[in-house]
Structure formats: C-alpha cells, structure tokens
Amino acid sequence: MNNLYNKKNINNEENVMLNVYLSGEIHTDWRDEIINLCQKEGLDINFSSPVTNHELSDNCGVEILGDEENNYWKDNKGAKINSMRTKKSIEDSDVVIVKFGEKYKQWNAAFDAGYASALNKSIIVIHSDDHQHPLKEVDAAACAVTKDQGQAVKILKYIQQGNL
Amino acid sequence: MNNLYNKKNINNEENVMLNVYLSGEIHTDWRDEIINLCQKEGLDINFSSPVTNHELSDNCGVEILGDEENNYWKDNKGAKINSMRTKKSIEDSDVVIVKFGEKYKQWNAAFDAGYASALNKSIIVIHSDDHQHPLKEVDAAACAVTKDQGQAVKILKYIQQGNL
Amino acid sequence: MNNLYNKKNINNEENVMLNVYLSGEIHTDWRDEIINLCQKEGLDINFSSPVTNHELSDNCGVEILGDEENNYWKDNKGAKINSMRTKKSIEDSDVVIVKFGEKYKQWNAAFDAGYASALNKSIIVIHSDDHQHPLKEVDAAACAVTKDQGQAVKILKYIQQGNL
Amino acid sequence: MNNLYNKKNINNEENVMLNVYLSGEIHTDWRDEIINLCQKEGLDINFSSPVTNHELSDNCGVEILGDEENNYWKDNKGAKINSMRTKKSIEDSDVVIVKFGEKYKQWNAAFDAGYASALNKSIIVIHSDDHQHPLKEVDAAACAVTKDQGQAVKILKYIQQGNL
Amino acid sequence: MNNLYNKKNINNEENVMLNVYLSGEIHTDWRDEIINLCQKEGLDINFSSPVTNHELSDNCGVEILGDEENNYWKDNKGAKINSMRTKKSIEDSDVVIVKFGEKYKQWNAAFDAGYASALNKSIIVIHSDDHQHPLKEVDAAACAVTKDQGQAVKILKYIQQGNL
Amino acid sequence: MNNLYNKKNINNEENVMLNVYLSGEIHTDWRDEIINLCQKEGLDINFSSPVTNHELSDNCGVEILGDEENNYWKDNKGAKINSMRTKKSIEDSDVVIVKFGEKYKQWNAAFDAGYASALNKSIIVIHSDDHQHPLKEVDAAACAVTKDQGQAVKILKYIQQGNL
Amino acid sequence: MNNLYNKKNINNEENVMLNVYLSGEIHTDWRDEIINLCQKEGLDINFSSPVTNHELSDNCGVEILGDEENNYWKDNKGAKINSMRTKKSIEDSDVVIVKFGEKYKQWNAAFDAGYASALNKSIIVIHSDDHQHPLKEVDAAACAVTKDQGQAVKILKYIQQGNL
Amino acid sequence: MNNLYNKKNINNEENVMLNVYLSGEIHTDWRDEIINLCQKEGLDINFSSPVTNHELSDNCGVEILGDEENNYWKDNKGAKINSMRTKKSIEDSDVVIVKFGEKYKQWNAAFDAGYASALNKSIIVIHSDDHQHPLKEVDAAACAVTKDQGQAVKILKYIQQGNL
C-alpha cells in the first residue's frame, strides 16, 4: 500500500509515472548519475533535461536562424529556443531537481528554480556547503536540500515507493 | 449509458480512471479496506496515499538528509519530503477521501482537506458521530460525509458506474 | 491533413480523443442517439454523462448515506454526490453538449452550461425553437445552437475529421 | 473585533466593501428590497445587477447595432451585450445572490449560478419551497438557501458585522 | 527605502496596506493582542477574522435560516454561512496567521491553513512546543512558526517597515 | 541524455509527444511540408491544424445549422464552429507555429498568436522579410521567427532530440 | 437600480470604474472620439491605450536602448517595450475595444484581440463592412461588432448606466 | 491621449499607479537612483523593494524567532521571513526591475526573475556587458535589458507617459 500508485492498480492499468526535470549545470555527468541510480532502484520516473551539449546549446540560435554580429542577439536567439524546451519540461514536471556546481554563475539554474516555485512545483536543490549562504532564498523555496545526487535519488525512491 | 465513460467507448479506447487520494490517519488499515472493496466491485480506480509506515514517515527527513538535534528541524525535514508526495497526489486526484480516526490530533488530515478544497477537488469525509461538531467546517466543504469505508465505496461505485 | 490529429501520427501513436460531456434532460434517449450516430461515423470520442437513471439519481443520497425526513436534505445529499460526477465530467471535457427538452425546469442543465462557460469549454446547445427566447443567454455562450442531435453530431464530425 | 474589517482599521483607512451581484428575475423589486434593508442596517456593500428594464434588456442589441429579421439574432445581439455587464459583475463580486421567482424559465439565473460556482464565488439562492426539487443542483452549490430577501440580508449582515 | 511601499510614494499616493487574516481559536483574546501591538508599532495593516462570538458562530445557521432537529444539519447551515466570510478573508489576505491553542480539536484552523497554502498565501503559525509534532505538516507549509503573538507582530513589522 | 524524454525511459514507458498546432494560412501545403520533414527526421510529434479545406471552412456553419441571408451571420456560425477545433488545439499544444503567407489579411493567424501568447505557449512564427515590420508585435511574442518551414522543423528537432 | 454600481452606493463609497483598453490603429483620432463621446454622456470610464505617437512607438527601442543596424532587432526592442504597456492595459481592462481601420496590416490589433479573448475579456470590435469576411474569427470572439465609434459608446453607456 | 490612464480621467478619478518591484543587489544605492529619477520626471509609480539593510536581512530570522547553532537553519528562518515580503511585492507588481551588480552570486535576483516570469510580469534587467553571456536566459525572459538605471527610468517614463 505504500506506492504512490500501486504497481498494478485494481484494474491492471499501468502506473502513473513521476516526471522529474533536471535543471542546472551541464559540465558534469550528474544527470546520468541520477538516472542510473534510479534505474538500479527500479524507479518509475520520466526524466527531462535541457540540451546538455554546451556548444550546441550556445550556438543553436545562430545555427538554425542565421548569424548575428552582436553576441547579445546570438545569445538571445539561442536562449529563446532553449526556453521552449525548458518551459515544457518544468510545466510537465512533478519535481524539479536543481543542481548548483562549483563553477560559473549558473543564473539560469536559479531562474528555473524561481519559475518552478511560482508554478508550485516540488523542488530539490543539490549544492555543496560552500554555496549555502548565497543560495538561502533558493533553498527556502525547496522541499529538500541535498549534498549530492545520492540523497536526491533516495528522496525520489521514498516519494514513489514509500521506503528507503 | 450510466458509466462515467463507457467501459469500451465507441472506438475501443481504454477507460479514463478515477484518481482517488486517501488522506488521513495511518494507524488502521482503512485504506486497504476501501481498495479491497473497490476491487470486489470491479471499480476502475487509481488510488494514491501518503507513506503509511509511521516510523518511516516520521524519520525520512533525518534518515536521508542527516541528523538534527532539534526535533522541530527533524520534523520539518520529514514533513517537507512527505509534502512532495501529498501535493502531487492531491493535485492529480479527482476525489480526496479524508478519514478522521478516534485518536490523535490529525491536523494534517484537516490541512489536506483545506488544500483539496481550495483546488476545487471533490471531498468525501469519513468520521464517527463523536467528531461531528469539531469537523463541521471540514464537513461543510465536502460532497459527502460518511460513517465508514463502506459508504465511501458505495459513492465511488455510484460515481463511476451509476448504480448501487 | 484535415483530422484534428492524424489518424496515425508520424510516430504511429494513438489518436487523442475528443472528450464530450452530455448534459441535460434524462427523460429521453438523446444521449444514445448521439453516441450511436458518432459510432456510425467512426468518430473517436469519449462520452461522459450524468447518471441517467432518474430514480437512482434522486435517491442516491439517502440510499447511501441514510434517510432524511426533510426533502431538502434528501435532495441536498443526492445533488452533492451527483456533483462529484458532473464536476469531473465537465472539467475533463473539451465540448459540453447541453440538451433542453420540452418538459421540466431543467435548471441543472443551465447551471452546467454556466459552469462550463466559466471554464472556457466549447458548448453546443440543443433545443427547439420554442425555447429560443428564454435560452438566449445560454445560447449566447455557445459555439453552436442546434435543433436536434443530428446537427450536434455533424459538428463533432466536422471538428474531428474536417469533413461533413 | 467582529467586523470583517474593523470599521476604522488601525491606520484609519477606509473599509473594504463587500461586492454583491444580484442575479435573477427582473419582474419584481426584490433588488430594491435587499438594498433598502442593507441601508437600514448600515451595511457597507457595493451592489451590482443586470439591467432591470426588461424591454431595454431585450432590445438593446438591435437598438444599438441595427435590426434583425430573425428573432434568434436579435436575442443573440442583446444577450451578448448584456453578458459584458454580467461577466464583470460576477467576476468582481464576493457574493452572488440568485433569486428564482414564481414565473418564467429563468435559465439565465441558473446559468449565472453555474458561472459563479465555477469561479468559486459564495452563492446565496432565494426561492420558495415550490422550486426546491428542481433547484436541488443549484442549491447544492450554494452557501445558503433562503426563503426571502430578509434572510439573505441577515446573512450579509452577519458576514460583514458578525452579529444578527 | 525599507518600507514595502514608501509611506508617501513619489506622487503622494496613499500606502498599500497589508491584509492579514487571523485564523484559529476564538476562546482567548489573541487577536486583540496582535491588533493592539500592531497599533502601538504604527503598522499599516488591515485585519480580518472569523466571527469570534462562539455562540453566534455556532447558531447563525439556524437563527437565520430556521431550526434543524439534527445537529449535523444545524452545524452544516452555520458552517456554510461562516465559510462565506472565511473564504473572502483568506482570498483577500497577503498573510494568514493561524493560532493553535491548548484546547479543542481546532480542525478548522488546520483546514484554513491548507486552504491558504493551496492559494500560495504566506502563513505564520502560532503554537506552543507541546503541539510541535502533530503540527509538523502545517508548520512545514508556513513562512514562520512563532511561540506567541509578540513574535508574529515582530514579523509583520519587519515585513512592512524593514526594521525590528 | 539529450532527448526531452529518453526514447525509452528507465521503465520502458512510451515517450511523451510534443503537441504542435499549425496555425495560419490554408492556401499552400506548408503544413504537409513540416509534417513530412519531421517524419523524415523521426520526430515524435503530434500535429493538429485547422480544417484546411477552404470552402468547407467557410461554409460549415450554414451547411450544418441552416442558411443565412446575411453574410455576417453565415460567417459567424462558421467561425464559431471552427473556434471549437482551434481552441482545443491551442490549449493542448506545447508549441504553436504560425505561418503568415504573402496574401490575404490573415487576421485569424494573428488572433491565434495572441491567444497562444496569453496561454504562455511557445510560439514559432514563419514569414518572409516583407512582413517584418507589421508583424513586429507578433514576432516579439515568439520564441523564434523563421524564414521558412525548414528552419521551423530544425527547431522542433533541436527541442525534441537536442541535436541539429 | 440600473447602474452597474449605484452612483453613490448605500454607504456613499465612490463608484467602481469600467476599465477600457482601446486597441488598434493609431492613424486616426478614433480614441479621442470615443473618450469625448463618453465624457458628454457622463460615463465613469478609465481609458488606456497604446502610445499613439507612431514615430515614437516605432523608435522607442533604439532611442532608449541604443541603435541597431538590423531593422528586425530595432523593431524587436521597440515592440518588447510597447508590450509592457499593452499587457498591463489588457490585463487591467474589463472591456477591450479593437478598431480595424482601412489601411495597413494591423496584425497587432488582431493579436491583442486574441490575447484579450484568452483572458476572457469582453471585446468590442469596430470595422467597416469591407473587412467582415477576413475578420470573422475575431468577430466571433467579440461581444459586439460595431460599424463606428458611436455604436461602441452606446454599448459602454448601456453597460454602465443601463439606458440608451 | 498618450498616458496609460489620462491624468484626470473623464470623471476626475485618480490615476492608476504603476507598481514596480526593485529586485536584486542591496549593496549600492541603485534603488534610490531610480526612485529619485522617477520623482524628477513626475512619474506616478509605487515602488517596493526587499529589506535593503543587509545585516538585518541576514539576521531577521534568528532575531525574531530565536538562535540557531547551524547556519543553514539561521539562513532558512531569515529567508522564509523575507520571502513573505518578496512574494507580495512581485505578485502586486506590474513591472519587476532586476539589477545584477558586479559582485556576489546574486542567485536570489535570478530566482526572483524566474518567479516573476512564470507569473507573466514585465521584466526589466539591468546589468553590465560583462554579465551578458551568463545572463542570457534571464535576458531572454525580459522586455528590456538596460545598461544602467537611467535607461530603466526612461522605459518607465515611456510606458506611463508615452514620451521620452
């Protein structure tokens, strides 16, 4: 009786999946780590993520729509196209996991967290202790703040299966 | 013609299920009673529930995210994680059944009822006559107030199948 | 290219169905007429309707929850239970068809139309010319006002298949 | 301490008014009766109502926008213009009072009640016992069902002033 | 620059007030305590509250709408009327303060908290340490959990004036 | 890891499709061009479109509901019926592609774009350079402005597959 | 009793105004015509409009934020700034009047109409008979279609004062 | 005719003000600069801002609610209280101005921008060229990206007064 939805409900319909959006830095393989851990645990989760090919993510606007001399407009075109994927992913998600890494500004991660918060999504934040103070407003909007991917997966497992 | 959606619609698509969240006390097996009764009636219902392992529900926060000396923060961590499951369950539900037992404060059950009411969900409340006066505001927000699980199942059957 | 969604889309997924709620009088078999006509046309529609067994619809409250001396409370209990089915049906629907027959007050039909209108659902009203003037506010909220079930089915066919 | 907002709040700002829309039949002077009773009680209420000049209400469409040979279109033009006033009034209201009189179909009153219900407005219904059964679905969506204007005013007084 | 809105903005418009709903037990004078403390601090706050005359609150339904033999319906009529005031108060509020006292079930307070939470209102909970564990789900939905009225007023002052 | 949802998620459920509404002119075969290009790319997209048979689209109202002498009412009946399909299509879509051709007023295309924008849908506009200035408000609401169907398909591919 | 809100309500509060946004072409003085006519009628209306200085409207982006070589980005900057005013105006309005003149594409007017329609605003369209067919989808979303400013003012008067 | 609302509308009501929230860094006096510039221009704007006393903002949680040994909980308490002010400010605003300074992580600023974006608020971003690339996702959600406070004020003036 502990599953969110019983594996096979009383009429043998399929399970409802948990939709999870993986927001944040794209320079390490933390997303694969989460997905692999969930797979090992047999979790029933539908993951989405931004395009994680950094070069492609930066250049998609000018590659598709034509060059720009000004970097501002190059970035604007690219960010607008990427926003189509991000918006759908956040709106369709039940849980948004936002990972803050050690490097870079990562303002897009904080922006996603704010967007998800206004839509009343459940948020899990992952960051090291070093970032604790500057991330306090983001953490305060979260359902859980974890130190690593393993803790985040334990939460997903607990939410879906009701055990640890 | 009485089913909410005909068992097999005119194009042989599958039925739309009724999603029901079972909120409230976790010290008796009332959820299993409802699910079993629905199964006997052949109802097409997708049930969700909070984690009903009481000890796990209380300790999930510190087990996953690390110990706390202060009970307030221990409970805060746990309640925040449990809220991820509750929020999804209520938002996805068509009907929320809230059971008030004889013991304990059960403020989370009343909180769930208020949350469900603001989202315009159909609410069924189960409680004994003893609780009638203090539950009057919760009852007033409900579509039905029943004395036991059997009555609640009869309502679900009537809603889905159009018969008693 | 005229189908709302191509019968088989480019990845061979199944069609998205049109959800239609059939609101209004329950003394004639107009719902079966619509469903049968749609079946003949091969339409891909998921119909829902209120409980059309009049006696059961009137008595469900006291049958399930216990007798009332006062007819007001008997009707209140029944109407509250029926509202659970109506609310889900309207909220899940794309189109609400409201049929006004020749007899009875049918205030529940007009209530459903107002509820559907506030939720921005597409409304088709069916009524004879006799009711034209008193139904002018309901008609003004509709996408189409038809004289009979046949016209309503033609509209459903046109919306789904793009032909007549 | 019983007023919804203290007559003069702690910074001497003015009171927030209660907005009440008076929906329903326009053949008797029930609206004036309510407004006068509220005035006597010193209530702080902002009333709105449909255009109560029956002839004008019926003819406004063709008077302003030009004649129609077909009564359906004459009524459609008028009802569309009247809907602008009704929509604003219901959306701005805190409470919608819907009066059902003895005569006429009054489907627009039931339509307004459904519209208000979907917007989660508090509804007070006024009708005689004769209409109890056919109005059961409308009554079930209401916060109070009264027999006359006097009872409705007592409710408004109680809500605003906290006394009888 | 610390005021939420400068006392006199650059065009000498009046201040926007903070709307605060005071939910919870009606057996002590905690609401007056908060209002008086805010007045001493010169805060610009518009308070609303339920009807705090306990007897009147219990009897309003039958006093206005007529007697009931069954206590359930007596309470239902009263709670439905009281809900009109509560709903408007919560929906109009920026902050909901929910006080849990030492006695009684107070399920209406927890219900209000759930309702406010679903509407994304800022919640302040007041309770003693004794209630910490059973209120953990309510506390987890709050922006602040205070031990007494004084702390709650300090928060209101800080929010409005930006000082302590 | 670049797909919006992995082709086969960790529990082997089917992919979530992208829903795309193709709004705008119906005099060229630009919709087929997009659908065919997406098919070649193996994209998992569910397309919807208005009825593209121009004569049928113009005449559906009078064909189904009866003749009108006045062209205004003929067009009103037809447009109302077509709006049922358009409304569902836009509301169900993740992305709305609006194509402005060289001829005609195409105010319905701009209307659809405004409707989609208010619902926070991602919009792709297709038009030639000639229309750049008069379409500036529509373009400003879009995530991408393309010169042809090929660019639009590249965007859909990038959003769904994360590559070019 | 015919006013939307009585000129002086029973507690002598001020009237609630009607907010009207005047969307559409900026090459004739139709807005002044409407405002002057309303003033003569003593109507209590709060008008808003886009910036009607055409050159300024086109150049505001580059004037404020710096030059662009490419006209697309010049227009994008300007349209984005103008959208701030338009969005607030439409969202705050009760009624949106959209005027289509004889010249230009006026896609922004149709876009505004679609935006307003999705927000469930009451729409009045003004256009000559020549534009009847291409505007049929916009007209179908309107509460009234008028031939000139005078008719639109008569509607505003009727809505606010309940007379002609 | 260029004002958003004419200074004195036709019934001599007061102007509707523009509500602007000033989000972002609190280490320079950029808010005063904007407010002073608007005052010089005679703009009719209601500004709100976070508590700009940095030490108070960091310590408000423990100062009001009691000490914490762990910095995480100290920050959590403070951020939760500050969120009450931020949430109201953003929700009440028409325009959110987000300033990114040269120092610090400023993730709260990006979070506010995401929150405002999901609520469909008009956003103006202020930052230097150095931050252009890492802020591309935030900029893409904005109506204008300015280099300094002066440009932001010009936009506010243009929006409200329709001139430069």
ipTM of the complex: 0.93
Task: For residue F117, give how far its alpha carbon lies from the nearest alpha carbon of chain C (Å).
Answer: 17
Of chain H residues 119-148, which have a CB less than 8 A from chain E?
A: none
Predicted confidence at residue B64, as pLDDT, reads 98
**Which residue type sits at D6?**
N
Of H104, H107, H131, the CB nearest to A110: H107
Q: How far, rounded to the nearest angstrom, does the alpha carbon of residue E6 sit from its chain's CA centroid?
A: 25
Per CB-CB distance under 8 Å, the chain A contacts of H80 are 140
How far is A16 from A6, CA to CA, in rounded Å?
Answer: 9
Predicted confidence at residue A148, as pLDDT, reads 98
Predicted confidence at residue D95, as pLDDT, reads 98
* DSSP, res B16: P
Task: For residue H22, give how far its alpha carbon lies from the nearest alpha carbon of chain E (Å).
Answer: 11
Per CB-CB distance under 8 Å, the chain E contacts of H14 are 13
Is there a contact between C143 and F84 if contact means CB atoms under 8 Å apart? Answer: yes
Assess whether pLDDT exceeds 70 at residue F35.
yes
Calculate the alpha carbon distances from C114 to A109, C18, D57, D117, G159 in Å.
Answer: 43, 21, 19, 9, 20
Per CB-CB distance under 8 Å, the chain G contacts of H10 are 35, 38-39, 43-45, 47
Characterize B74-109 residue by residue with b for buried, 16 or more Cβ atoms within 10 angstroms of its Cβ, and e for exposed: bbbbbbbbbbbbbbbbbbebbbbbbbbbeeebbbbb
How far is E145 from E128, CA to CA, in rounded Å?
Answer: 10
Token reading at D109: 């009153």
**Nearest residue to E143 via CA among E124, E116, E119:** E124
Task: For residue G83, give how far its alpha carbon lies from the nearest alpha carbon of chain D (Å).
Answer: 24
Cβ atoms of F38 and C10 within 8 Å: the answer is: yes
Q: What sign results for the dihedral spanned by CA atoms A115, A118, A120, A123? A: positive
Cβ atoms of G34 and G52 within 8 Å: the answer is: no
DSSP bridge partners of G21: G48, G96
How far is A122 from A142, CA to CA, in rounded Å?
Answer: 7
Predicted confidence at residue F17, as pLDDT, reads 74
Q: What is the pLDDT along chain C (164 residues), one digit of tens a residue?
A: 444 544 444 443 334 579 999 999 898 999 999 999 999 999 999 999 999 999 999 999 999 999 999 999 999 999 999 999 999 999 999 999 999 999 889 999 999 999 999 999 999 999 999 999 999 999 999 999 999 999 999 999 999 999 99
Backbone angles phi, psi at G160, to 5 degrees: -85, -40
Per CB-CB distance under 8 Å, the chain D contacts of E92 are 16
How buried is D122 (Cβ within 10 angstroms: 0-12 exposed, 13-18 middle, 19+ buried)? buried
Predicted confidence at residue B17, as pLDDT, reads 74
Of chain B residues 26-45, which have a CB less than 8 A from chain C?
A: none
Predicted confidence at residue D13, as pLDDT, reads 37
Of D13, D16, D143, the CB nearest to E81: D143
Predicted confidence at residue G10, as pLDDT, reads 43
pLDDT tens for each residue of A1-51: 444 544 444 443 334 579 999 999 898 999 999 999 999 999 999 999 999
pLDDT tens for each residue of A49-84: 999 999 999 999 999 999 999 999 999 999 999 999
Q: Computed over its alpha carbons, how large is the radius of gyration of chain E?
A: 17
Task: For residue D7, give how far its alpha carbon lies from the nearest alpha carbon of chain C (Å).
Answer: 34
SS (H, E, C) chain E: CCCCCCCCCCCCCCCCCEEEEEEECCCCCHHHHHHHHHHHCCCCEEEECCCCCHHHHHHHHHHHHCCCCCHHHHHHHHHHHHHHHHHHHHHHCCEEEEECCCCCCCHHHHHHHHHHHHCCCEEEEECCHHHCCCCHHHHHCCCEEECCHHHHHHHHHHHHHCCC
Chosen for mutation from G64, G90, G149 (greatest number of chain H CBs closer than 10 Å) is G64
Token reading at F115: 């409707």
Chains linked to H by 3 or more Cβ pairs within 8 Å:
A, E, G
Token reading at F128: 């030639």
The confidence band for F160, taking pLDDT boundaries of 50, 70 and 90, is very high
Calculate the alpha carbon distances from E5 to E13, E24, F35, H16, H36 in Å.
Answer: 10, 29, 53, 15, 15
The whole-number average pLDDT for the span B115-127 is 98
DSSP bridge partners of C125: C98, C145
How far is F22 from F30, CA to CA, in rounded Å?
Answer: 9
Specify the pairing of strand D95-99 against strand D18-24. parallel
The confidence band for B8, taking pLDDT boundaries of 50, 70 and 90, is very low
Per CB-CB distance under 8 Å, the chain C contacts of F88 are 4, 18, 94, 122, 159
How far is F89 from E161, CA to CA, in rounded Å?
Answer: 48
Angle (nearest 5°) at CA G162 between G157 and H1: 20
Per CB-CB distance under 8 Å, the chain D contacts of G9 are 17, 45-47
How far is G79 from G77, CA to CA, in rounded Å?
Answer: 6
Assess whether pLDDT exceeds 80 at residue G9.
no
Q: What sign results for the dihedral spanned by CA atoms A143, A148, A154, A160? A: positive
Predicted confidence at residue A4, as pLDDT, reads 52
Assess whether pLDDT exceeds 60 at residue H11.
no
- In this complex, whether E and H touch, counting 3 or more CB pairs under 8 angstroms, is yes
Predicted confidence at residue C17, as pLDDT, reads 74
Of F113, F117, F137, the CB nearest to G79: F137
Chosen for mutation from D33, D64, D91 (greatest number of chain G CBs closer than 10 Å) is D64
Task: For residue E96, give how far its alpha carbon lies from the nearest alpha carbon of chain B (Å).
Answer: 14
Residue C144, SS3? strand
* DSSP, res H15: P
How far is B33 from E90, CA to CA, in rounded Å?
Answer: 36
B117: CB partners within 8 A, 6+ apart: B123, B141, E111, E114, E115, E118
Predicted confidence at residue G14, as pLDDT, reads 40
H64 touching chain A per CB within 8 A: no
Cβ atoms of B110 and B131 within 8 Å: the answer is: no
Predicted confidence at residue E6, as pLDDT, reads 45
**Nearest residue to B104 via CA among E78, E137, E147:** E137
Chains linked to C by 3 or more Cβ pairs within 8 Å:
B, D, F
The confidence band for D14, taking pLDDT boundaries of 50, 70 and 90, is very low
Residue D21, SS3? strand
Residue C5, SS3? coil
* DSSP, res G151: H
Q: Computed over its alpha carbons, how large is the radius of gyration of chain B?
A: 17
How buried is H53 (Cβ within 10 angstroms: 0-12 exposed, 13-18 middle, 19+ buried)? middle
H63: CB partners within 8 A, 6+ apart: E164, H56
Predicted confidence at residue D4, as pLDDT, reads 54
Question: With DSSP H G I counted as helix, E B as strand and the rest as coil, what are the percentages for chain A, rounded to 5?
Answer: 50, 15, 40
The whole-number average pLDDT for the span B52-59 is 96
Is there a contact between G137 and F76 if contact means CB atoms under 8 Å apart? Answer: no
Specify the pairing of strand H144-146 against strand A18-24. unpaired
pLDDT tens for each residue of H127-161: 999 999 999 999 999 999 999 999 999 999 999 99
Total number of residues shown for chain E: 164
How far is G163 from G161, CA to CA, in rounded Å?
Answer: 6
Is there a contact between F131 and G105 if contact means CB atoms under 8 Å apart? Answer: yes
pLDDT tens for each residue of E61-104: 999 999 999 999 999 999 999 999 999 999 999 999 999 999 88
